[in-house]
Amino acid sequence: MRGGLMRLPANESESDLVKARYDNLEKLRERGIRPYEGDVQATHTADEVSEKVDSIDEEVSTAGRILAVRSHGKITFMDLMDRSGEIQLYFAHDDLQDDYEVVDLLDIGDLIWVAGKPFRTRTEEPTVRVADFDIVGKCLHPLPEKWHGLTDEDLRYRQRYVDLVVNEDAFDTHVTRSKIVSEMRKFLEERDFLEVETPVMSTLAGGATARPFITYHNALDMRLYLRIATELYLKRLIVGGFERVFEIGKVFRNEGISTQHNPEYTLLELYQAYSDYEGMMGLTEDMVAHLAETITGSTEVEYDGEMIDLSPPWRRLRVVDALAGEGVDVSAWQDDEDARAEAERLGVEVESGVSRGKVMEKLLDRLVLPDLVQPTFLMDYPVDISPLAKRKDNEPEFTYRFEPVVGCMEIGNAFSELNDPHEQRRRFEQQLEQRARGDDEAHVMDEDFIKALEYGMPPTGGLGIGVDRLVMLLTDSQSIREVILFPLLRPLEEGG
């Protein structure tokens, strides 16, 4: 396209700032410079130049984005940023002669390639004395202010690319996220777990109690659901003999948005045959401690102003004991109604008709969770809210199930997997009864899963970890949106 053509920005004032950049773009083209082309073979990153400034005697080349310009007439300093960090550039008329005029046509935000010898300035700042340079990408919008960055959260999420350019913390958080997931894979692969991929779309959304998103397949004329968990497919693979599997993937839950919830989020689920929830507790604390140590250098992390010690073993707290600590005696409840009455007495709202298990879960959320800063395994959840977990031998009202809680956040869910097909059918049938009573989050019947269990599934321990929340913990982020590159937002209305 010709330089004169441009999409005008929404308001006049920005238009002036953008116009100046289009003017510079046109002037570059008039000089025969192609502002989106260039041979960008870089020999060094910015940090490598800084590190080796005293040992390199030959010319280096590097590429990145201009973050700051300090012009002094016949010389100009710039700060160049790449993925590794920043390096100062020194442009001098004496070195560049006529090409020095082009330096004036560079704007903050432009992407350039430079070549020259590294040196230190009077103030010892590592610097590249530019002998040759090329613009390889023009920035047509002004960047946010250099030391406050971009703080408007809405804008930061809508234009994450700008956020990442100007807010180093945001950049680092997402680099750390990537490292966490990578380390997680290594940790599990070293323990002989196999990574697999299971369907995102299917005709049933099972494995968790949550409302699914619904979509549609035209050719098959069929309603499909986006998965809410990977559990039931992964356990089929345990039946199939994989014995140790994991999947790190997005799941989708049609629920509200909060600082701890995004409708699509990343879940690690793993299953280990011939293990159980004890084994899963060990694996959880080992893995989280290992990740903290590897990523942050310590098993002690600061989260929301509190020091959290992630080194094993973690505290174990039975659900009934946790509630007893709040003055709630679960054994005194004769029926669901007693449970609901107790909730009302404690000022905790519960929906009418919910089971005692749901009441216990609610009381835990409201009374216990807010105090659980240090890592804790909340253990032995009631059976009526745990349709896929094995009952405890000596307490059939409870299951071998736990949730790891850190920094007052539930970061996962795990249990000894129910592997008795007849018991599983009864559990699903109970869930259907709850569904019939209006609970549209109750689990659905999955005949094929039961058939899989009928072929024999070994005793198995299963664990799910909310990867986003784990990343929050290890990056001291108080909102899940900080650790998701593009969190779900309402679309902006066209034309306001």
Partner RNA sequence: GAGCCACUAGCUCAGUUGGCAGAGCACCGGACUUUUAAUCCGGGUGUCCGGGGUUCGAAUCCCUGGUGGCUCACCA
State the minimum distance, in angstroms, from the CB of residue 406 to RNA: 11
Stretch that binds RNA, among 89-97, 241-249, 315-323, 328-336 (CB under 7 A): 89-97
What are the backbone dihedrals phi and psi of residue 48, each rounded to the nearest 5 degrees, phi first? -65, -40
Between residues 12 and 221, which has the closer beta carbon with respect to RNA?
A: 12
Instruction: Give the separation between CA 170 and CA 471, rounded to whole angstroms.
Output: 13
Footprint of RNA on 244-273 (CB under 7 A): 253, 255-256, 258-263, 265
Do the strands 194-195 and 315-318 form a parallel or antiparallel pair, or are they unpaired? unpaired
DSSP readout, 176-216? HHHHHHHHHHHHHHHTT-EE----SEES---SSSSPPPEEE
Tell whether residue 493 is a contact of RNA (CB under 7 A): yes
With CB under 7 A as the rule, give the number of residues binding RNA: 86
Tell whether residue 146 is a contact of RNA (CB under 7 A): yes
Tell whether residue 90 is a contact of RNA (CB under 7 A): yes
Nearest Cα neighbor of 167 from 143, 180, 149, 154 is 149
Residue carrying the six token digits 């094929």: 448
State the minimum distance, in angstroms, from the CB of residue 369 to RNA: 8
Residue 282: helix, strand or coil by DSSP? helix
Footprint of RNA on 5-44 (CB under 7 A): 11-14, 16-17, 20, 24
State the minimum distance, in angstroms, from the CB of residue 39 to RNA: 26
Other beta carbons within 10 angstroms of residue 326's beta carbon come to: 13
Instruction: Give the separation between CA 270 and CA 192, rounded to whole angstroms.
Output: 12
Instruction: Give the separation between CA 84 and CA 51, rounded to whole angstroms.
Output: 11
State the minimum distance, in angstroms, from the CB of residue 485 to RNA: 14
Single residue of 7, 97, 98, 490 touching RNA by CB under 7 A: 490
Question: What is residue 227's DSSP assignment?
Answer: -
State the minimum distance, in angstroms, from the CB of residue 438 to RNA: 12
State the minimum distance, in angstroms, from the CB of residue 454 to RNA: 26
Single residue of 154, 168, 300, 326 touching RNA by CB under 7 A: 154
State the minimum distance, in angstroms, from the CB of residue 114 to RNA: 15
Footprint of RNA on 429-468 (CB under 7 A): 441, 466, 468
Footprint of RNA on 182-241 (CB under 7 A): 208-210
Instruction: Give the burial string for 458-474 (b: 16+ CB within 10 Å, else e).
Output: eebbbbbbbbbbbbbbb
Between residues 26 and 441, which has the closer beta carbon with respect to RNA?
A: 441
Stretch that binds RNA, among 25-33, 290-298, 343-351, 390-398 (CB under 7 A): 343-351
Footprint of RNA on 395-434 (CB under 7 A): 403, 410-413
CA–chain centroid gap for 109, Å, is 27
